[in-house]
Amino acid sequence: MRRRLFLPLALTAWLAGSLSSVAQDLAPDSLTNLLVSLTIANGAAPFSDHGRYWLFASVVSTNYLALGGAGAPLSHGAYAYTKTGANAGTLDLADSESGTGSSMRVLFASPTNGVFGLTNGSGFQNGTFSAAPYFDATGPGLSLFLPGAATNGSFEAYLSGARGIRYSIETSTNLTDWSPLVSLTLADLSANFSDPTSAGTRQQFYRAKAVADDFAPDSLAGKTLNLTINEGAGPLPTNGIFQWMADTNGNGYAILGGPGMTNSSGTYSYTRTGPDSGVITYSDSLAGNVNEPLVFTSLTSGYFYLTDATPTAFQTGTFTLADGPVEFLGNVKFVPDTARSGSLYFAADSSPATLSVTNAAGWVWTLNFPADALLSPRAITLTPFAGVDSSAAKLPVSAGVQLEPDGLQFSDGVTLTVTPPAPLGPHASLMMAGNDGSDLYFVQSTNRTGSYSTVLMHFTSAEASDPSDQQ
């Protein structure tokens, strides 16, 4: 049965009046891979009336996840989106947990924001929203490599694609009739498979298609969550950054505090609730009982929502996930020197490449790409820092460089080398951070006379620290 949305006259007028510009083609054709942030302005039900809510539309399918204080009407399920005009669309949500259906009319004031009206038959709400992609789909493209027959006569091949995406491999002898062969989830940039049915066939064709995303881990044992609280107050006594570190064995954890927060510890349990979601419940020595739903937007990052028994207490923000303890060193702010940036087009034609830039003080940053660094051509940009503020970091940062596109992943290690204008002190080191200067951490580096280098498997930003120049 086709669902129809009936809006009260006052709500219809509010929506129409909220968008006075001439209609443009602003509404997307699909919500795939969009994070929609909703802010309630008026009304009551179907959502709770405090806080903000986030809808994560799946990277591949038409499923969604919700994060925030919306409560029972919204958790996870399937959605149907229809573009109804140049700047308008309707979104129907069928929640799997509550069994409740909700309908939303959205009007885009720009490609990334607008206004909405929401109803589920028992009430309505309106407000504003923003929408943006959350999964980096600009990494290595989907590729199949067929090197030759294996020793047992079956054909062996390799699939390259996006980490955390599940692919279905299909085979055919005539390019018309296709049969499923195997399903692969890429934990790294590539995986191999074999086809025992190919023995004795004159010709065999293969294709791969993305069928689902699969980001959430089965266990957090031995892992570290680096969390950045963006809004809210309580249950944790911090408004900044902290680390949550799970024991390798057992159910213990420790919290290393950020600004305004004391270190604590306790016991936890973690449950994977879906391919891209999980929840941590823990009993903290300082904060008491805490509930922390997680939405994974990649294998190593996502969003969290902290609550306790206090009805209005919540904290929300973003996290990164790492194996083992990560020494978190704070944040830096920097100004890119775009006039001194450099770019190259890596052709992915089995040829190595080199890119260098020099900042105003004479620091030389060099990237050396092996021939197989990327599986598809990409434009690469290096931008040195014109200035850097490391007052919020535990170590002084002397210089840095921004590497773009942010998050680009490599199939073979790329070497980053920095050559300062004068030798650094004995405690100098290389560090990496997010492309916005957040989450500074040490990296393994090779220090030679006059230069320092490290091997990269993905792009963020890089900084060099020389504590001796502050003494």
pLDDT at 129 over 90: yes
pLDDT at 14 over 50: no
End-to-end CA distance of the chain: 73
Cα separation, 67 vs 392, in Å, equals 29
* SS3 label, residue 17: helix
pLDDT of 211 reads 86
Q: How many CB atoms lie within 10 A of CB 427?
A: 11
Q: How many CB atoms lie within 10 A of CB 178?
A: 15
The helix (H) or strand (E) run that includes residue 442 is: strand 441-442
What CA–CA distances, in Å, run from 412 to 144, 257, 442? 17, 35, 21
Cβ 397 vs Cβ 464: under 8 Å: yes
The arrangement of strands across the sheet holding 353-358 comes to 353-358, 364-369, 409-419, 451-458, 446-448
- Collect all residues with Cβ–Cβ distance below 8 Å to 113 and sequence separation of at least 6: 128, 129, 130, 131
Q: Residue 293: beta bridge partners? A: 279
Cβ 377 vs Cβ 140: under 8 Å: no
Maximum C-alpha span of the chain: 74
pLDDT at 12 over 50: no
pLDDT of 328 reads 61
pLDDT of 239 reads 59
Q: Residue 461: beta bridge partners? A: 402, 433
Task: Express each pLDDT in 193-222 by its tens digit.
Answer: 888 776 666 677 888 888 888 999 999 999
pLDDT of 327 reads 58
Least confident of 78-82, 188-192, 334-338, 431-435: 188-192
pLDDT of 258 reads 56
pTM: 0.64
More confident site: 388 or 100: 388
Q: How many CB atoms lie within 10 A of CB 326?
A: 19
Q: Residue 305: beta bridge partners? A: 316
Give me Rg for the CA atoms of the chain.
25
Which listed CATH number (1.10.1400, 2.40.360, 2.40.50, 2.60.40) goes with 143-213? 2.60.40
pLDDT of 316 reads 87
Q: How many CB atoms lie within 10 A of CB 294?
A: 26
Positions of CATH 2.40.128 in the chain: 9-133, 223-323
pLDDT, mean of residues 8-25: 48
Exposure class string for 266-290: b at 16+ Cβ within 10 A, else e:
bebebebbbbbbbebebebeebeeb
pLDDT of 219 reads 95
DSSP secondary structure letters along 176-213: SS-EEEEEEE-SSSEEEEEEGGGTT-S--EEEEEEEEE
pLDDT at 426 over 70: no
Task: Express each pLDDT in 339-395 by its tens digit.
Answer: 999 999 999 888 999 999 999 999 999 999 999 888 889 999 999 999 988 888 777
Q: Read off the amino acid at residue 312.
A: T
More confident site: 394 or 79: 79
Domain 333-470 listed as CATH 3.60.70.12: no
pLDDT at 263 over 60: yes
Cβ 365 vs Cβ 356: under 8 Å: yes
Least confident of 28-32, 77-81, 129-133, 459-463: 459-463
| 389: its two tokens | 């503020």
Task: Express each pLDDT in 431-443 by its tens digit.
Answer: 778 777 777 776 6
pLDDT, mean of residues 282-306: 90
Task: Express each pLDDT in 46-61 by its tens digit.
Answer: 676 555 788 999 988 8
pLDDT of 3 reads 37
Query: What value does the mean pLDDT of the chain take?
Result: 80
Looking at the structure, give the CATH architecture of the domain made up of residues 9-133: Beta Barrel (2.40)
More confident site: 359 or 328: 359
Is residue 82 very low, low, confident or very high in pLDDT (cuts 50, 70, 90)? very high
pLDDT of 10 reads 40
Q: Residue count of the chain, please give it.
A: 471
Cβ 62 vs Cβ 117: under 8 Å: no
Cα separation, 276 vs 279, in Å, equals 11
pLDDT at 152 over 70: no
Looking at the structure, give the CATH architecture of the domain made up of residues 223-323: Beta Barrel (2.40)
The arrangement of strands across the sheet holding 179-185 comes to 179-185, 165-172, 205-213
What CA–CA distances, in Å, run from 299 to 11, 50, 138, 279? 40, 30, 15, 15
Cα separation, 227 vs 320, in Å, equals 7
Counts for the chain of helices (H) and strands (E), in that order:
1, 34
